Chains A and B, each alone.
Chain A
Amino acid sequence: GDSVTQMEGPVTLSEEAFLTINCTYTATGYPSLFWYVQYPGEGLQLLLKATKADDKGSNKGFEATYRKETTSFHLEKGSVQVSDSAVYFCALYDGGYNKLIFGAGTRLAVHP
């Protein structure tokens, strides 16, 4: 079945460092891909999405490009801030199943 694999955390960075969180997926169809973020004490929030190959999703300085050839959707940010500390979840949506399938999450800790 469909699945999402993302790099294990925690990822610990200093402020202004470059961030990459890897995400790869397995799907039988052509899914839409998402990154969700969970800040401490808050619910899951959509960060960005891409619905077809080569699309780039972006929001709040974060970017991810839908790479069909490598079945990947890696999350990047050029300069992280302390306020970016959170758990990040990669997810796919396969319309045939009407549900989001999530990775295990990657905890990011950014220090001043």
Chain B
Amino acid sequence: GAGVSQTPSNKVTEKGKYVELRCDPISGHTALYWYRQSLGQGPEFLIYFQGTGAADDSGLPNDRFFAVRPEGSVSTLKIQRTERGDSAVYLCASSREGIQNTEAFFGQGTRLTVV
């Protein structure tokens, strides 16, 4: 595809449920990032993949959050036992290499609402 694709664009779930958010990066981009953007705030870093491995997961808020990228392309962010405080826009970005050398391209995000 032409850009970073995130699905679904909107997700409403009940408190306590499990959700998966998907990110399709630009083809050939080895670096992939997940961010969370709460209302009125800037994006907050969650996790960074280089290829298949999570190079930095220091931004994941707790063990309810997990992300995978098994084949070095598509990534899934998984949230267990969702809480109302998890409501936010979840952004995915990819870059050809690291951000230092190449531009990071962002998807339009998945808006998660936990009711």
**Contact partner of B100 among A32, A42, A43, CB < 8 A?**
A32
Q: How large is the interface on B (under 10, 10 to 19, 20 to 34, 35 or more residues)?
A: 20 to 34
Option from B4, B33, B43 in Cβ contact (under 8 Å) with A89: B43
Measured CB to CB, the nearest residue on chain B to A105 is B42
Interface of A is mostly: strand
CA distance A35 to B58 in the complex (A): 24
Say whether, besides A43-B107, A46-B104, A99 and B91 are in contact (CB < 8 Å): no
**Chain B contacts of A101 at CB under 8 A?**
45
B14 at the interface (CB under 8 A from A): no
Select which of A32, A98, A102 is within 8 A of B43 by beta carbon.
A102
Interface size on A, residues (CB 8 A): 22
Chain B min CB distance to A41 (Å): 8
Chain A interface (Cβ < 8 Å from any Cβ of B): 4, 32, 36, 42-46, 51, 89, 91, 93, 95, 97-105
